[in-house]
Amino acid sequence: MTKIAMTSHRLSALSAEPTALKRADLLEGESSSETVVVAYHERTKHHFHRYAAALGYMDWATQPDPFRRYAGADLVRLPLPKAGCPLPYWQLYASATVPPVPLSLESVSLFFRYALSLTAWKQVGETKWPLRANPSSGNLHPTEGYALLPAVDQIGETAAVYHYAPREHALERRAALDAERWTELVGAFPDGSFLVGLSSVHWREAWKYGERAFRYCQHDVGHALAGLRIAAAALGWRLMLLNGVSNSTLSSLLGLDREEDFAGSEREEAELLVLITPGSMPLATDSKPLMAYKAGVLWQGMANMLSPEHGVAWPVIDEVAQATRRCESTPIKEDFSGFPSEDELFGTPVRQGLLSAEKAILGRRSAVAMDGSTSISRAAFFRMFARLIPTHERQGMPWDAIPWRPRIHLGLFVHRVDGLVPGLYVLVRDPDKIEILKRVMGSEFCWQRVPDCPPGLPLYLLKEGDCRALAITVSCGQDIAGDGAFSLAMIADYMDSLASYGASFYRNLFWEAGMVGQILYLEAEEAGIRATGIGCYFDDPVHAAFGIASREWQSFYHFTVGGPVDDGRLSTLPAYNFEEEQ
């Protein structure tokens, strides 16, 4: 029996006996990494009779600072890009039509402006809080961004490691890298390449959400990964996830393994590293592995403390983080030849739209309520989901940034789409999984192709009927799931992913879900409506709604799209005013 087959057999046995995974099991005894992941996922499910463990109230005295800073590090201010970039939104997805912009102070500034910056401040009374280009569960923002840049005029005379400070729209120089070290890092990549890393501060989410916080941190990494890819597309750049880099190497490259720089401060968990090339040439996936720094790099800056104290510890988050850390691995290579072409997904390729790229990216907002009446056209509905399918040419953005075939599929609660009957639908994002999902889901479903649907879009009606109450019920009773034009559950090909790629791929599943969510956010903006992610849902009742009895498939995220209801009490202020401190 092969290693993958043995792992699959062991995981199937675990998933068939959920009663064996009690709440205390995760921290007891010796367990495989995959077993820890399965135990964590079961333990952190919400149920009708019990929510996942959390504090249960907001301890405002220990609310984390949403901004990490490194005291003593040189701060490189990035000029605020001029508003009104003319690039149309649709052109983000037609990467070959966007001329690559040279790497410079201005292009680096625009990249971070579109990917990770503040987009506005909201205020009610004396209370004020920021919004960002990358959305976050509870607006808590556990994701931190880092850049490894070559020498760039007006940024630095040598290559260096930087931390991005979104409140200041600035780069904090953490370490300078000499020419030899920089060549060791990027010498195998095209000229002008640079690296961007993401990390998570688990405490920021755990403060509010307790043990389920690890899930939400990974959602946010996925949103940020898509945000990075979208920002790169706006500049004509390519981006590729370096999924073979180990967490320990990444931690070293970003300076996150330095105990002396985090004395008394909340640590960051290294998540992922991407390669960005200011050009349109395809990126190779078989370059030599990146290595941690040798001795001699001089670091500067001390991380700030985010909370004065932590009232409650959540050790299971540390356990699942440890279990899902990557070792150095061979890059994933999969076959996309069976996927549709752009013409098969869209009919006529989209070459016009309502918004500029800048308006869609910086104007993106999370709806806090839906009006319960707005409907959307079938054309907009089909276009949103066509954006979520990779093409066989591997040109579809952002899916060209990740090497694996889709593992996230969508169970849809359709309420108000012109020309479509309300009911349960499914979007199967990998054509090879259609027959598998037919067997996994309820036998009562009709699996009827949606009339007039583009031929390459695997969208199926499962069951007609008003499903608003069901959508609300399984989304923790939140009306927003039933008041939108539609809502959805992101169903992950869960056990097979762990068996095929190992426990570390648990993170990747959430990243993919977050990437799906980020595209839905922008597509909603382009359609003149709004979207929002829903992290609170009753896991197993969601599965039951789609007739899924096997625990090999699990719900990883919810989303809703529709007509927003604005809160008139809130004022909107500019993201940046460099004449005064925010």
pLDDT at residue 158, as a whole number: 96
pLDDT at residue 351, as a whole number: 79
- Phi/psi for 43 (5° steps) reads -65, -30
Cα–Cα distance for residue pair 172/452, rounded to 1 Å:
52
pLDDT at residue 153, as a whole number: 96
**Residues in the chain with pLDDT < 50?**
1-9, 17-24, 579-582
How does pLDDT run across 167-226, given as a tens digit for each residue?
Answer: 999 999 999 999 989 998 888 898 899 999 999 999 999 999 999 999 999 999 999 999
Order of strands, sheet of 571-573, starting from the edge strand that comes earlier in the sequence: 127-132, 118-124, 571-573
Cβ–Cβ contacts within 10 Å for residue 62, how many? 16
For residues 540-561, b (16+ Cβ closer than 10 Å) or e, as one string?
Answer: bbbbebbbbeebbbbbbbbbbb
**Token couple for 307:** 């909370």
Is 57 buried (19+), middle (13-18) or exposed (0-12) by CB count in 10 A? Answer: exposed
**Is the bond into 99 cis (omega within 30 degrees of 0)?**
no
**Token couple for 126:** 């004396």
* Sequence-ordered strand ranges (E) for 374-493: 408-414, 423-427, 448-449, 459-464, 486-493
> DSSP letter string over 261-299?
GSTTS---EEEEEEEEESSSSPPPS-PPPP-PPPTTPPB
Cα–Cα distance for residue pair 539/548, rounded to 1 Å:
11
Q: Across-strand partners of 366?
A: 531
**Token couple for 536:** 């609170």
> DSSP letter string over 467-517?
-HHHHHHHTTT-THHHHSSEEEEEEEEHHHHHHHH-TTHHHHHHHHHHHHH
Cα–Cα distance for residue pair 321/319, rounded to 1 Å:
5
pLDDT at residue 331, as a whole number: 81
List Cβ neighbours of 436 (8 Å cut-off, separation of 6 or more): none
Residue 258: C-alpha distances to residues 300, 322, 324, 367 (Å): 11, 17, 21, 39
Cα–Cα distance for residue pair 238/231, rounded to 1 Å:
10
Q: How far apart are the first and last CA of the chain?
A: 60
pTM greater than 0.85: yes
Element at 553 (helix H, strand E) = strand 553-562
Q: What is the dihedral of CA 410, 412, 418, 423, to 10 degrees?
A: 150
Element at 233 (helix H, strand E) = helix 213-234
Cα angle 493-499-504, degrees, rounded to a multiple of 5: 85
Residue 368: C-alpha distances to residues 321, 560, 574 (Å): 31, 11, 20
**Token couple for 104:** 């410079």
**Token couple for 117:** 């910056």
3-state class (DSSP) for residue 191: coil
Length reported for the chain: 582
Task: Map 318-357 to HEC letters.
Answer: HHHHHHCCCCCCCCCCCCCCCCCCHHHHHCCCCCCCCCEH
pLDDT at residue 329, as a whole number: 79
Query: Residues 136, 44: contact at Cβ < 8 Å?
Result: no
Q: Give the largest CA-CA distance in the chain.
A: 67
pLDDT at residue 288, as a whole number: 62
Q: Across-strand partners of 424?
A: 413, 463
3-state class (DSSP) for residue 29: coil
3-state class (DSSP) for residue 48: coil
List Cβ neighbours of 409 (8 Å cut-off, separation of 6 or more): 426, 427, 428, 429, 430, 433, 437, 490, 491, 492, 493
How does pLDDT run across 256-315, given as a tens digit for each residue?
Answer: 999 999 998 999 999 999 999 987 655 555 556 788 887 788 999 999 999 999 878 999
